[in-house]
């Protein structure tokens, strides 16, 4: 009996197969961990420098006679970036207020408002812009590249960026008053 | 005057009958809900998590389905519409992601794990069968070699 056990060849999963399976598992776990980490990160945080991005504007909208805005060209100005969508009811609450405040600051040339239309359909987006008579530069977030960078959690969300391109304040959800918008813009204008 | 009125009426009716298909063709026939959903089910709502566009109940999804209907009316093909959605909202809207970048893992990892699983189960079954075969072979080998047992068996036969 003992002899037979010794004679039979030792059979099991080959080493290369074991390594391959463990490597596969590790890669899979790594991907899941990366995804979870990204999901828990939340939006970009105040204090972070916003890197350059480009926004192609809707037909009829221009900034300094250009149909595309490059964020890096806005250095030296206070920038207010508002993410919105035509299907978003809370966005409607603040749309008129944002436009009113933009009209106040526009002549000074120190503040730029940018509207970024998040996963929307163009006819409805145009209807929304017409309905609220929005004149500040607006464009669609093509392939959701900009919103993915900002890691927005929904709409509306508004980001206040100082003259050095550093994010200073995030408003998640709609503004309750125009004063709330003015306070944030004034705080950034008064920064040295 | 009494005679001309019916003539004018029927002439107008005839013109309407003759030209209405022409107008209808230029605008394109309105696609049915099934035709719209055939495209929509290949896309996922970019806002709601893991919800196919054809069953998504939100206003945003209703707008996207209307957009699909509009594009179909304009004569766009399924592929053109899907590409438009990818350009607008990114590749994540596709129910079957394209074979590029990290999406490769989606197509490669499951078959690899399935093959590895089948291989492991196969090996496990083979290992379970081995001792049974060994025991069967063992019995005839051991009996004749044992002199004492052979003699006991012979005596038992004689007593019978």
Give the H/E segment covering residue A114. Answer: strand A111-117
Q: Once rounded to an integer, what is the mean pLDDT over residues A55-73?
A: 96
Residue B19 lies in a domain: no
**Which of B70, B90, B127 is facing A143, going by the closest CB pair?**
B90
What's residue A173's pLDDT? 96
From A188, A146, A136, select the one nearest A163 (Cα to Cα).
A188
Chain A residue numbers with beta carbons less than 8 Å from the beta carbon of B87 are 142-143
pLDDT tens track for A71-110: 999 999 999 999 999 999 999 999 999 999 999 999 999 9
Residue B13 lies in a domain: no
What's residue A167's pLDDT? 97
Q: Give the three-class secondary structure for B44.
A: strand
Q: CA nearest B45 in A: which residue?
A: A119
Indicate if the pLDDT at residue B10 is higher than 80. no
Q: How far apart are CA A175 and CA A100, in angstroms?
A: 13
Q: Is the peptide bond before A142 cis (omega within 30 degrees of 0)?
A: no
What's residue B30's pLDDT? 86
Q: How far apart are CA A38 and CA A33, in angstroms?
A: 8
Supply the angle between the helices B59-73 and B78-89 in degrees, to the nearest 10: 140
Query: Both B87 and B112 in a single domain?
Result: no
Contact flag B90-A20 (C-beta cutoff 8 Å): no
Q: What are the start-end ranges of the H helices in chain A?
A: 2-7, 15-41, 89-105, 122-131, 145-150, 178-189
pLDDT tens track for B60-89: 899 999 999 999 999 999 999 999 999 998
Strands A111-117 and A167-172: unpaired
Q: How far apart are CA B76 and CA B139, in angstroms?
A: 77
**Which of B59, B63, B123 is facing A13, going by the closest CB pair?**
B123
Query: Both B30 and B87 in a single domain?
Result: yes
Neighbours of A122 (CB within 10 A): 14
pLDDT tens track for A6-31: 455 556 677 888 888 899 889 889 98
Between A7 and A169, the more confident residue is A169
What's residue B131's pLDDT? 62
pLDDT band at A43 (very low <50, low <70, confident <90, very high): confident
Indicate if the pLDDT at residue A162 is higher than 80. yes
Would you list which residues of chain A are within 8 Å, Cβ to Cβ, of chain B? 1, 4, 8, 11-13, 17, 20-21, 24, 27-28, 31, 85-87, 119-121, 123-124, 140, 142-145, 148
Instruction: Report the gap between the CA of A107 and the closest CA in chain B (Å).
Output: 33
Contact flag B88-A142 (C-beta cutoff 8 Å): yes
Contact flag A86-B90 (C-beta cutoff 8 Å): no
Contact flag B58-A87 (C-beta cutoff 8 Å): yes
Where is mean pLDDT largest: A90-104, B33-47, B136-150? Answer: A90-104
What's residue B11's pLDDT? 59
Contact flag B47-A119 (C-beta cutoff 8 Å): yes
Query: Both B143 and B123 in a single domain?
Result: yes
Chain B residue numbers with beta carbons less than 8 Å from the beta carbon of A85 are 60
- By the 8 A CB rule, do B34 and B48 touch? no
Q: Once rounded to an integer, what is the mean pLDDT over residues B36-63?
A: 91
Q: Name the residue range of residue B108's domain.
A: 103-159
Q: Once rounded to an integer, what is the mean pLDDT over residues B20-31?
A: 58
Query: Both B86 and B30 in a single domain?
Result: yes
- What's the structural domain count of chain B? 2
Task: Locate the domains of chain A by residue range.
Answer: 13-41, 54-189
Query: Both B40 and B79 in a single domain?
Result: yes
Q: Please name the CATH architecture into which domain A54-189 falls.
A: 3-Layer(aba) Sandwich (3.40)
Contact flag B116-A124 (C-beta cutoff 8 Å): no
State the average pLDDT for chain B: 79
CATH number of the domain that residue B79 is part of: 1.10.8.640
What's residue B106's pLDDT? 80
Indicate if the pLDDT at residue B20 is higher than 70. no
Contact flag A144-B127 (C-beta cutoff 8 Å): no
Q: Which residues of A9-31 are buried (b: 16+ CB within 10 A; e: fewer)?
A: eeeeeeeeeeeebeeeeeeeeee
pTM: 0.71
One-character DSSP codes across A155-182: SSEEEEE-TTSBEEEEEES--S-HHHHH
């Amino acid at each position: 009996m003992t002899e037979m056990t010794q004679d039979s060849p030792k059979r099991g999963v080959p080493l290369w197969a074991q390594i391959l399976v463990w490597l596969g598992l590790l890669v899979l776990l790594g991907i899941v961990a990366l995804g979870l980490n990204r999901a828990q990160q939340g939006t970009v945080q105040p204090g972070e420098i916003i890197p350059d991005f480009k926004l192609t504007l809707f037909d009829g909208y221009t900034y300094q006679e250009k149909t595309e805005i490059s964020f890096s060209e806005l250095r030296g100005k206070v920038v207010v970036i508002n993410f919105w969508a035509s299907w978003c009811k809370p966005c409607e609450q603040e749309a008129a207020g944002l436009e009113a405040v933009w009209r106040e600051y526009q002549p000074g040339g120190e503040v730029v408002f940018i509207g970024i239309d998040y996963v929307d359909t163009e006819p409805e987006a145009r209807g929304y812009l017409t309905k609220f008579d929005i004149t500040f530069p607006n464009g669609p977030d093509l392939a959701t590249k900009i919103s993915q960078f900002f890691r927005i959690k929904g709409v509306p969300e508004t980001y206040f960026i100082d003259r050095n391109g550093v994010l200073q304040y995030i408003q998640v959800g709609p503004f309750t008053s125009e004063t709330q918008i003015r306070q944030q813009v004034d705080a950034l204008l008064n920064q040295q | 005057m009494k005679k001309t009125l019916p003539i004018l009426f029927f002439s107008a009716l005839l013109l309407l009958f003759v030209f209405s298909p022409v107008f209808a063709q230029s605008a394109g026939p309105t696609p049915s809900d099934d035709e719209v959903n055939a495209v929509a089910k290949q896309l996922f709502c970019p806002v709601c998590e893991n919800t196919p566009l054809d069953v998504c109940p939100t206003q945003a999804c209703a707008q996207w389905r209307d957009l699909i209907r509009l594009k179909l009316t304009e004569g766009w093909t399924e592929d053109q519409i899907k590409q438009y959605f990818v350009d607008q909202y990114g590749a994540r809207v596709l129910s079957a992601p394209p074979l590029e970048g990290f999406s490769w893992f989606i197509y490669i990892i499951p078959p690899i794990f399935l093959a590895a699983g089948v291989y492991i189960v196969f090996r496990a079954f083979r290992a379970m069968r081995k001792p049974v075969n060994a025991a069967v072979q063992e019995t005839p080998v051991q009996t004749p070699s044992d002199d004492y047992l052979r003699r006991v068996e012979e005596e038992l036969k004689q007593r019978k």
